[in-house]
Structure formats: structure tokens, C-alpha cells
Amino acid sequence: MQSKSMPNDRTNQQNFVYLYDTTLRDGAQRKGLSFSLDDKVKIAHLLDGFRVPYIEGGWPGSNPKDAEFFRRMRSTPLKNSTVVAFGCTRKVGVRAEDDANLKALLDAGTRATAIVGKTWSLHVEEVLKTSLEENLQMIADSVRFLKQHGKEVIFDAEHFFDSFMSAPEYAVKVAAAAVDAGADWIVLCDTNGRCMPSDVQKVVASMMQAVPANYGVHCHNDMELAVANSIAAVEAGARQVQGTINGYGERCGNANLVSLMPTLKLKMGYDCVRDTDLKKLTELSRTVSEIANLNPDPCAAYVGSSAFAHKAGLHVAAVERVAHSYEHVDPALVGNRRQVIVSELSGRGNIRMLASEVGVGVVGAEANVLAKVKEMEGNGYQFENAEGTVELLMRKAAPDYVAPFEIVDMMVVVSDRNRTGTSAEAMVKVQVGDEKFHTASEGHGPVHALDLALRKALVPRYPHIEDVRLADYTVRILDPEQATDAMTRVIIEATSGDDRWWTVGCSKNIIDASAQALADSLELYLARTGSSAGAVQNKMETTGTEETCKTITRAKVEVA
């Protein structure tokens, strides 16, 4: 096999597993997922940066976008990876040199091509409507044609495990036909995702004895076994693993390369990815999720935001002493981080570890903070996704803490004047140190108006608060049987530059809950940046601007 993907300088090839990414083709077959041409190019370059040996770009003979992708890639070539064009064997009764699909593979201009062929008699006789012998000839002709044009050929043996289990003699003939014609790889496909790991291991081992070749595996996830089956194939001798980033794919998806990479590398000792690249795994997973416009799975192995989250007090107490007592790998190896969850199930260790992570001193106050957390959770609050509010509770526990502001009163009015569309107006009274200020503002909705009014009161004193942005706003009804009288929980995600934090509010009044979360998000930012009412008061006195600030903000601001 000749490919720039192949590490010729390695002495132990048996210890190397070649990753083959098919996110741009098989992954794109997931329901609700559609990559634009720019998306495909962007992901290809991400994978190239990750040094994935093979990147399957699509099927140039099936649609214009994939054909254009290969044209685009010729003008922006990859540095580390081999781009693969995908197609199928020649059609029944058509010569290879006359087959439009095979011509499209040549036109793609890639060094490597992957062709899928039928291996299961059910498909050959009932779907293709041809003979078993003709199918073997189609495979051989197609592989030979591509090899004559200097291509590295990867033969995807579709439904191979079904074929082997129903008629092993024919399955062997299919692999032999591809090998004899010059195929560089024989990839055994569990196309329907119905195999057990023990079956995969037996079949791969049998094939390596029956038809010596370079074998790979392509597994689907219909029984949640695609990763396990891929591992079983590697243990049996397969040295190419096909899959997708985040397991995207048709039906239940494909083998998840994001799970396979660290498992093969860290658990099994196979050389498939460099240590420095593995540390970017979490970033890769989340970036592809963002491009795909899909939410990352928080519980995803290795890279999920909850993959190294610890909630139970017993667990956290152990992790505080010995990290690997409840962590199967160091999260830093895959670019992730430990997360300590504070909740009613927590112990004081949770408070200490979280305080250490955010750089807040709570020595001696852990019990008080924990008691406050449990009291609030009993009233409907939840802090698993609102670490910012917990951090603020810890900061407030310090004896010298001075709140930068306090909302004394507020009122929000929503109206639809002249039936031209609803608008909202919010008025707030805010206390900063010894002064109270009254501001008002209009917004598209009540939370927007409240945010604007609050900022009007605070920006003259804390100008840098303008850097804070609302990134997300979620609402959860806690007791839906109460209908519109239900308790409501609001979580706000705020950002400033690369920093982001989450705060929570809870009330039967959604505006009140929103105001709590909003106020906490701004107060936490000011606390982190070292702002306080006392500091601002001193600054105004020394700069002579106190009266000016009071005049600007005491009066109600008229809305145009």
C-alpha cells in the first residue's frame, strides 16, 4: 500500500491502527444533518490538523456538491491526511471503463478511492438482480480498473458479517476477488449494526486465515455496539477502523472515532494518534458539533462536559485525595477537565474543590455554604448547570465581601400599543453603597428590558460591565401540574471574552426568577473583576465625579 498516510518510519506496524473518517459522507446521512460545501472543507482541514490518516470526502458520482468538494480540495490540499473519494463497483452489464461512477472517482483526483461492493447473496440476487458470479466479476473489474489508474483502493465489503454468517464460502470468495484484483484494504462492514463483539472477532480472525490481507472494519451503532465491535475487530487483527466524529451517521450512527481514539491509544496501547493531538480531542468534538449545528452530548465518553463531573460527596472526597480513584483517565489527556458539581448530595469536599478550581477561599465556611445550597435546592434551585451562582455564594461567605449592587425594587410592563406588536418596559431601583438609583428602559421582551434598565444603572459606575453578554437563557417548569402557577427555574449563560458562566434563579414568577439569575451573573462578573460598591464610592470621591454620577442615574430615564 502506498499512501502518505502510512507511517513508513514505524518499525512495529502491527501496533499501528489507521483511522478512517467518514463524517463527510456516512456521517452526513444522519437525519437532520446537512453539511454545506464550506462545512465539509472546514471539517476536512480540522481532521487534517488532527492527522487522521484517511478522510472520506463524499461520493462524487452521486451529487454536485461532493464533486465540487474534491475540486475545492485540490486547490487547498491537506498536509497530513489522504482524501478518499467514495463510490461503488461497476453496474451490472457495464464495462468498468464505461462506468460513470468509476469515471467520477477518477475525476475526483484523489490518491485513494473507496468502493463498496455487495457481499451478501440476499443483496446480490434480490437487490442487484444478478448472479453471484457476476457480482464477483464486478468487484474484480472495478478494483483492477482503479489500480490501473494508480489509485490506492479500499474495498468496503457491504453486509459482510451477514454474508459470512449465512454463506461463509461466498464471503471468502468476495474478499479473495478484491484481493486478487489488487485491493489495498478489505474493510468488513457490519452495515445493519446487528453483530455482537464476539461474532466480529471470530469473523475477522477467520478471514485473516482464509484470505491474508490488510483488513479494516466499518460498524454501525444500531445496538450501541459500534465502538465495541470495532475494538473486537482490532483485537482480532484489523488495522483500519472506519467511523465518524461524535458517531454521526444514518439511523443510530456509526462507530464514534472520538471514543475509539483514546480507547485504542490509552487503554490498548495502539499507536493511532499523537499525544499532542489527543489533547485537542474535546475541542475537535465540540467544533464539529458546532459546524453540524448539533448540541454536544454532555455525557459523551471522554469529551462530554459531564465525562469527568463528580457530584456525590463520597466520590468527591475520594477524588480530592486520589484523582484516579473515580477517573479512568486524566481528563487533560483528551483536552477535557474535571468538574465538581455542588448539590444537595454534596459534601464539604465538593465546596472545597470547586472553590479551589475558581480561586475562591472558603476555609472554615464550607459548612455554611453547603447548608445554603441544600436549603435553596429544597426550594427548587438546581446548581448542576449553575456553578456561577455557587461561586457567588462562596464569595459572599467571605467576611469582607461587599456586594457591588442590590436590586431594591423593579417593575416590568408588557404592552401592545395600537396593535403594532408587543414591547416591554422595565423600571428598577438599584442600590450601590449608600446611594439608590432609579432607571428605566424598553426592550423586545421583559428580560431584555430588565437587562437594559439594570445596565443603565450600573454602567456609569462599572463601565466594563458592558463587556458582559447574555449567551443563553433557558426556562424549566418544575411542577407542571400547577400549570401557570408552577415554580419556574431560569438559567442564564453569560460571557465576557472567552469566559462564560451560568447562574440560576427560581420563583413562581418567571420575571423574578429571571431577575435573580441576571443579577447573579452581573454581580459575579463584578466580584471576579474586583469591583465593589465601596471601591467605586472611594473612586468617585477622589475623582470629584460623585455628584455627576448621582445626577445622571437618580432620575428616571425617559424612553424616546
- Tens place of pLDDT per residue across the chain (560 aa): 334 444 333 334 678 999 999 999 999 999 999 999 999 999 999 999 999 999 999 999 888 999 999 999 999 999 999 999 999 999 999 999 999 999 999 999 999 999 999 998 888 888 888 899 999 999 999 999 999 999 999 999 999 999 999 999 999 999 999 999 999 999 999 999 999 999 999 999 999 999 999 999 999 999 999 999 999 999 999 999 999 999 999 999 999 999 999 999 999 999 999 999 999 999 999 999 999 999 889 899 999 987 776 665 555 555 555 566 667 899 899 998 776 666 555 555 566 666 666 667 666 667 777 777 777 777 787 776 778 888 888 888 888 888 999 999 999 998 876 676 778 899 999 998 888 889 999 988 899 999 999 999 999 889 998 999 988 888 988 887 887 788 889 999 999 988 888 899 999 999 999 999 999 999 999 988 876 654 444 444 444 444 333 333 333 322 22
Phi, then psi, of 274 in degrees rounded to 5: -75, 150
Where do the DSSP E strands lie in 249-291? none
- On whether the CB atoms of residues 131 and 22 are closer than 8 A, the answer is no
pLDDT at 545: 40
Secondary structure of 386-446 in the HEC alphabet? CHHHHHHHHHHCCCCCCCCCEEEEEEEEEECHHHCCCEEEEEEEEEECCEEEEEEEEECCH
pLDDT at 25: 97
Name, in order, each residue with C-beta under 8 angstroms of 259's C-beta and a sequence gap of 6 or more. Answer: 227, 247, 300, 301, 302
Give the 3-state secondary structure of residue 108: coil
543: exposed, middle or buried (C-beta count within 10 Å: 0-12, 13-18, 19+)?
exposed
Return the sign of the alpha-carbon dihedral for residues 25, 28, 34, 38: negative
pLDDT at 107: 96
Give the 3-state secondary structure of residue 112: strand
Task: Determine how β-strand 423-432 pairs with β-strand 435-443.
Answer: antiparallel
Cα–Cα distances (Å) from 107 to 81, 91, 296, in that order, read 19, 18, 36
Reading the block at residue 140, the C-alpha cell is 474484480
- On whether the CB atoms of residues 476 and 486 are closer than 8 A, the answer is no
Sorted by where each starts, the structural domains of the chain and their CATH numbers stand as 13-273 (3.20.20.70), 309-396 (no CATH), 406-554 (3.30.160.270)
Number of Cβ atoms within 10 Å of the Cβ of 194 = 15
pLDDT at 363: 67
Residue with cell 454536544: 296
- On whether the CB atoms of residues 162 and 194 are closer than 8 A, the answer is yes
pLDDT at 117: 95
